[in-house]
A and B are shown apart, each in its own frame.
Chain A
Amino acid sequence: MDSGQLFFLFDRMEQSFIGELIRNSIWMFPVIESVHLIGLAILGGSILMGDLRLLGFILNSRPINYVINETLVWLKLGLVILVSTGIPLFLSEAIKCYYSRAFWIKMSALTLGLIFLFFIRNPLCLKTEKDSFRFRLVGIVSISIWATVAGSGRWIGFS
């Protein structure tokens, strides 16, 4: 897909029913945005609890797989809230996102974060009970990726 087709796709999404609906309302964008932030609190909190445990900073008396496992369902809940509010927010300003560097950084980091979370961090950590140096590495990588997702997400609004 070349950039012309991509722009066309983004334009079509901006013209979508949901996009129009949100743009024509004063309060819908702020309200969806607020729920998006509540999703951030849930997902961010879940990831932090796990990553801080990997780094050896919290609940060290409990095995890694227990802490990760206890946060898993809340992590997924946060993710569902974030995606289901993020898509309408995107639809309401798809063209702005197309030209926003922050948006593309966020989407790249998000893709990376999800792959790392579900294919590396969790499979690795749910198996093991013992701490080792490589778990600290996994924790640092995870925190860095998700901080980039959240931070660049905030910057979409500034651009």
Chain B
Amino acid sequence: MLLEFSIWLSETEWSIALHESLYLYPWIESAHVLSICFFIGTLIFVDLRLMGLAFNKLSISEMNSKTLPWTIFGFGLMVLTGLLLFYAIPVRTYQNIFFRFKLFLILLGGINIFLFHRQMSKEGGKWDEENIPRSVHIKASVSLVLWAGVIISGRMIAYNWFDCDRQPQPDWVNWAASCMIELSQMEDF
């Protein structure tokens, strides 16, 4: 179903135009990379604050509330440019295992943020006076690892090592990328 949607998307006029554009695609890609600084760059400092490594004069709630608008701004920019990048190359991206892994890591990152915010709203008032609980340190470290993973797997999408049109691939790759082997082999003939 998603594959059919990607194929349909790839045949739309604007998708082809974007894919073949000389300057627009690189510009969108650059904006996507630069928004890392807004999204992950500001998020890093909240994590560092949670670990007691930066901005320790600020309470956690102040650090979080003052930084969050910029993190959300960066995230919005990343999603917007990311959707356009997907729109330019739908089928290949949909079947790319790094893309799939990246989405999985983003999901985990989102869950981690949700768990942190739930914990903060419950007991965050006490954190400022006493020490920060260990579970918060762990969430901050998990956050740093996950978002670094998102950057790495995002960069790897560009490489075609595991693309469906490059066969033979190990079974687990074809499974993880949901390659239609018969289809891609038929296209060769």
Contacting residue for B155 out of A34, A47, A59, A147, CB 8 A: A34
Residue of A33, A37, A41, A49 with most chain B CB atoms under a 10 A cut-off:
A41
Closest Cβ of chain B to A109, distance in Å, is 13
Chain A to chain B: the 7 pairs with minimum beta-carbon distance, closest first: A45-B41, A44-B37, A34-B152, A41-B40, A154-B30, A34-B155, A44-B41
A70 and B67 alpha carbons, distance in the complex (Å): 14
Interface string of B21-61 (1 = CB under 8 A from A): 00000100110011011101111110010000011011000
- Chain A: CB-nearest residue to B69: A58
A119 and B175 alpha carbons, distance in the complex (Å): 55
- Chain A facing B: main interface SS: helix
- Chain B: CB-nearest residue to A37: B151
Closest Cβ of chain B to A56, distance in Å, is 12
Chain A residues lying within 8 Å of B34, measured Cβ to Cβ, are 44, 147, 150-151, 154
Chain B residues lying within 8 Å of A147, measured Cβ to Cβ, are 34
Interface string of A40-75 (1 = CB under 8 A from B): 111011111100100001110110001000110010
For residue B70, CB closer than 8 A to chain A, the reply is yes
Closest Cβ of chain B to A146, distance in Å, is 8
Asked whether A45 and B40 contact (CB < 8 A) given A34-B156, A37-B33, A155-B30, the answer is: yes
Number of interface residues of B (CB under 8 A): 32
Interface residues in A137-156 by Cβ distance below 8 A to B read: 147, 150-151, 154-155
B66 touches A46 (CB 8 A): no
Can you name 16 A-B pairs with beta carbons within 8 Å?
Answer: A40-B33, A40-B37, A42-B44, A44-B37, A45-B43, A48-B42, A49-B41, A49-B42, A58-B70, A59-B66, A71-B54, A150-B33, A150-B34, A150-B37, A151-B30, A154-B34
A154 and B54 alpha carbons, distance in the complex (Å): 29
Which A residues are within 8 Å of any B CB, using their own CB? 26, 30-31, 33-34, 37-38, 40-42, 44-49, 52, 57-59, 61-62, 66, 70-71, 74, 147, 150-151, 154-155, 158
Chain A residues lying within 8 Å of B55, measured Cβ to Cβ, are 70
B29 touches A154 (CB 8 A): yes
Which B residues are within 8 Å of any A CB, using their own CB? 26, 29-30, 33-34, 36-38, 40-45, 48, 54-55, 57-58, 62, 66-67, 70, 147-148, 151-152, 155-156, 158-159, 161
A41 touches B26 (CB 8 A): no
- Chain B: CB-nearest residue to A159: B26
Contacting residue for A48 out of B26, B38, B66, CB 8 A: B38
Closest Cβ of chain B to A147, distance in Å, is 6
Closest Cβ of chain A to B74, distance in Å, is 9
Closest Cβ of chain A to B81, distance in Å, is 12
Closest Cβ of chain B to A76, distance in Å, is 13
Chain A residues lying within 8 Å of B41, measured Cβ to Cβ, are 41-42, 44-46, 48-49
A74 touches B54 (CB 8 A): yes
- Chain B: CB-nearest residue to A36: B155
Asked whether A62 and B54 contact (CB < 8 A) given A45-B44, A49-B45, the answer is: no
